[in-house]
């Protein structure tokens, strides 16, 4: 009888522990992957730091790129032009373009010295691949672009190059 009570108690304790683990896993699964993005801080190639939380409240076009990625380089003039147009639309849906470099800092600095852009660049390092996966880039490839509304929610995303007409269409009505 005593042994039976011990076994029942152990089974109950195991079930309780399993319930706690399950509950914790469910809480983590319910936590939006965006939390990591909006809490992140990234070094800037020219020095200083970009605090992602400071970008909440405005639309954001986030582009993951690398200096070693030909499609990324190909789309940079389109992103640059789009940033100029979008920023000029301050009273409308005006927003900001941010390029997160999935690369080493020296390569990014050297690249930008030769090919400067007018939109913000920050250094995500090779860990940027993990962040892009959390935002829906299941392949972890580049380029990857995500559009966020003023509330910081993803409203559009694409793996592969984007172009100016596509970006204009994405941001209509933001």
**Do 64 and 144 reside in the same domain of the chain?**
yes
Mean pLDDT on 146-162: 96
**Do 24 and 45 reside in the same domain of the chain?**
no
The confidence score (pLDDT) of residue 26 equals 43
**Do 140 and 54 reside in the same domain of the chain?**
yes
**Do 55 and 79 reside in the same domain of the chain?**
yes
pLDDT over threshold 70, residue 17: no
**Do 11 and 82 reside in the same domain of the chain?**
no
**Do 128 and 90 reside in the same domain of the chain?**
yes
| Total of domains in the chain | 2
Q: What would the pLDDT profile of 69-125 be if each residue is shown by its tens digit?
A: 999 999 999 999 999 999 887 545 679 999 999 999 999 999 999 999 999 999 999
**Do 66 and 42 reside in the same domain of the chain?**
yes
Host domain of residue 18: 1-31
The confidence score (pLDDT) of residue 27 equals 41
Q: Is the dihedral of CA 24, 129, 98, 125 positive or negative?
A: positive
**Do 18 and 73 reside in the same domain of the chain?**
no
**Do 73 and 18 reside in the same domain of the chain?**
no
Three-state SS letters, 24-51: HHHHHHHCCCHHHHHHCEEECCCCCEEE
**Do 159 and 118 reside in the same domain of the chain?**
yes
Mean of all residue pLDDT scores within the chain: 85
**Do 43 and 20 reside in the same domain of the chain?**
no
**Do 12 and 91 reside in the same domain of the chain?**
no
Q: What CATH code is carried by the domain that includes residue 84?
A: 3.40.30.10
The confidence score (pLDDT) of residue 173 equals 80
Per 3-state DSSP, the chain is made up of helix, strand and coil in percentages (nearest 5) of 50, 20, 30
Q: Where are the alpha helices (DSSP H) in 40-144?
A: 70-88, 105-114, 128-134
Q: What are phi and psi of 97, to 5 degrees?
A: -105, 135
Q: Mean pLDDT check: name the lowest of 11-25, 37-51, 58-72.
A: 11-25
pLDDT over threshold 50, residue 22: no
Mean pLDDT on 40-67: 96
């Amino acid at each position: 009888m005593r042994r039976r009570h011990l076994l029942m108690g152990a089974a109950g304790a195991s079930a309780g522990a399993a319930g706690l683990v399950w509950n914790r896993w469910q809480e983590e699964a319910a936590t939006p992957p965006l939390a990591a993005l909006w809490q992140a801080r990234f070094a800037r190639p020219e020095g200083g730091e970009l605090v992602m939380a400071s970008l909440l409240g405005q639309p954001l076009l986030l582009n993951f790129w690398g200096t070693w990625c030909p499609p990324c380089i190909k789309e940079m003039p389109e992103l640059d032009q789009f940033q100029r147009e979008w920023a000029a639309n301050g009273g409308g849906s005006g927003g900001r373009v941010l390029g997160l470099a999935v690369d080493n800092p020296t390569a990014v600095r050297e690249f930008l010295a030769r090919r400067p852009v007018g939109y913000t660049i920050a250094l995500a390092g090779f860990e940027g691949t993990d962040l892009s996966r959390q935002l829906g880039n299941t392949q972890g490839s580049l380029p990857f672009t995500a559009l966020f509304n003023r509330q910081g929610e993803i409203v559009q995303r694409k793996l592969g190059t984007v172009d100016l007409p596509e970006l204009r269409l994405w941001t209509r009505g933001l």
